[in-house]
Structures are given as C-alpha cells and as structure tokens.
Amino acid sequence: MGALLGLTAGTGLLMMWHAWSFPGSTPAVLRFGGWHRLSDLIAEAGLEAVTPRQLIISSAGLGAVAGTVFLAVSRTWPIALAFAVFGAYTPIALVRARARTRRRELRDLWPDAVDHLASAVRAGLALPEALAQLGSRGPEPLRRPFQRFALDYRTSGRFGECLDALKQRLADPTGDRIVESLRIARDVGGTDLGRLLRTLSSFLRDDARTRSELESRQSWVINAARLAVAAPWALLALLSMRSASVQAFNAPSGWLVLGGGAGLCALAYRLMMRLGRLPREQRVLR
C-alpha cells in the first residue's frame, strides 16, 4: 500500500513538473474534456487571472498538504488519503461556489443593464457607443467587461470580434443572447431593437424573481445534503486527533469500510443535489 501511495504521489509531482516546464502544452486527457470544462468554470466565476493549469496545481498542492498533515496526526493511511482527496477538491469547490454566486448576481443585474442599453438605443446612440456606455453607467459588477469592450473597439474597430471577446468575458447565457441580438441588429438593421430590449428586460426581471423564490425554498435541501455529508467526516477528523482511536482503519477491513462510506456519501450527495436542483440555463450561443 505504501508503494501504491508513493507511485500516486510521484505521478502527481511529475504532472506538476510537466505543467511548469512545458506551459504551452495541455495534458491529452484534459485537452478535449475536463480542460475546457475547467476553463468554462473559471470564466463563469469571473477569475480572469486564473488558468486551468494553476487551478489543477493548487488542487494537487492542497491535497498533498492535507494528506501529509492527517498522516502525521492520525498515522492512518486511508484517513490521510481521504482528506487528501477533500483537500484537492477544495479549490474547485470554491471556484464552483464563486461561479454560482456570480450567476445569481448577474441574473439580478441584467434587467437594469438591458434597460440602460434600451435607453441608449432609443436616444440614438450607435450600438458600439451604447455598449461602451455600460462601462461607465451600467451596474457596477458589469462595468469592467464593457470597459474592456470599449477599449477593444477603440483599438481595432472590429465590432464582431469585440462582441466575441465580450461574450467570453461575461460567460453568461443571458449575456450571450444580448450580444447575439445586437450582432443581428448591427448586421441586418431594423427598428425593433428598442422594443426587443424592453421586452427582454421585462422577461429577465420576471425570471429572476421566480428563480429567487424557488431557490429560497430549495435551499434547505442543499443545506441538508451538505450537512449530512460533512457530519461523518468532521467526526472522523476529530477522532483522528487521537491516533489510537483510528488505527483499525489501517487494516483491510478499515480500508473497505472507509471506501464504502465515501462511496455512499458521494452517491447520496449527488442524488439529493439532483433531486433538489433547478434547471440551469445553458450557454448555447457561445
């Protein structure tokens, strides 16, 4: 078992060395699947300075630290391995939580932003100027992406490419719809853009109100699932402070009990989260 853990640690260190030594390369396992999902998750969280490689390295480092600490305290390999997995997942969980918070925040801000945009269009401003105006007069959390759009447009003058960059920075389904509506209005023209934006603002405001009510009612399901999963592992962490109390987990039966408990916790958590989950709007216009 020690050899297996040593092999796993060596593989993790080799991946970290490869990431630092060859920054332009992407692991083949992640190139077409997990790598893009991590990139989308980081973009949805609004972390422009973080890359998937940095997130993976942070996860590996925190997992190694957590595993080493619990191994030194409990002198029990399965407990150290379990908390190493928890430590490795912590950075990803924090990014997911930030992405959820940002989605809720943007959902409440988009109606006001669309109202500002409709007012600018009704006042006779060109679409690039109307979008750039959101960088100074729009909702505060949305100003930076539109300020970057204004800078890009002043630099290049290419409206389509600037819209693509804006969509990438926003990383939001509602933002995708607004951007594509403006792109079509720019390409084919029309006089109904103002009415379209006002209708969209009303729809977004109603949708945000409905989702807020549903989320407040389903929050107890999510909190109960998290508490039910965290409670046995918190108790195990307290027991591991006395190594004599957890030495039984070093036996094969201890590995089996701990592995089975982890599997049941993961299954129950996923089931409860799926039963209590609201439909999430997907980015289909990226």
* Phi, psi torsion values for 48, nearest 5 degrees: -70, -30
**Torsion sign across C-alpha atoms 240, 242, 243, 246:** negative
3-state secondary structure of 47: coil
Most confident by average pLDDT, 43-47, 85-89, 166-170: 85-89
Share of the chain above pLDDT 90, in %: 14
DSSP code of 282? Answer: P
Average model confidence (pLDDT) across the chain: 81
**What local confidence, expressed as pLDDT, does residue 189 receive?**
65
User: Is the separation of the CB atoms in 109 and 142 below 8 Å?
Assistant: yes
**What local confidence, expressed as pLDDT, does residue 5 receive?**
44
Instruction: With CA atoms as reference, report the closest residue to 5 among 86, 79, 55, 92.
Output: 79
The whole-model pTM stands at 0.77
**What local confidence, expressed as pLDDT, does residue 151 receive?**
92
**What local confidence, expressed as pLDDT, does residue 286 receive?**
64
Over residues 233-242, the pLDDT tens digits come to: 998 888 888 8
* Residues 182-208, mean pLDDT to the nearest whole number: 79
Q: Which two tokens stand for residue 148?
A: 């970057």
Over residues 84-103, the pLDDT tens digits come to: 999 999 999 999 999 988 88
In the chain, what are the domain boundaries? 105-208
**What local confidence, expressed as pLDDT, does residue 191 receive?**
65
* Residues 192-198, mean pLDDT to the nearest whole number: 78
Is 70 exceeded by the pLDDT of residue 208?
yes
User: CA-CA distance, 185 to 188, in Å (whole number)?
Assistant: 6
Q: 19: pLDDT confidence band, cut at 50, 70 and 90? A: very low
**What local confidence, expressed as pLDDT, does residue 84 receive?**
93
112 or 15, which is more confident? 112
**What local confidence, expressed as pLDDT, does residue 223 receive?**
82
* Residues 18-40, mean pLDDT to the nearest whole number: 56
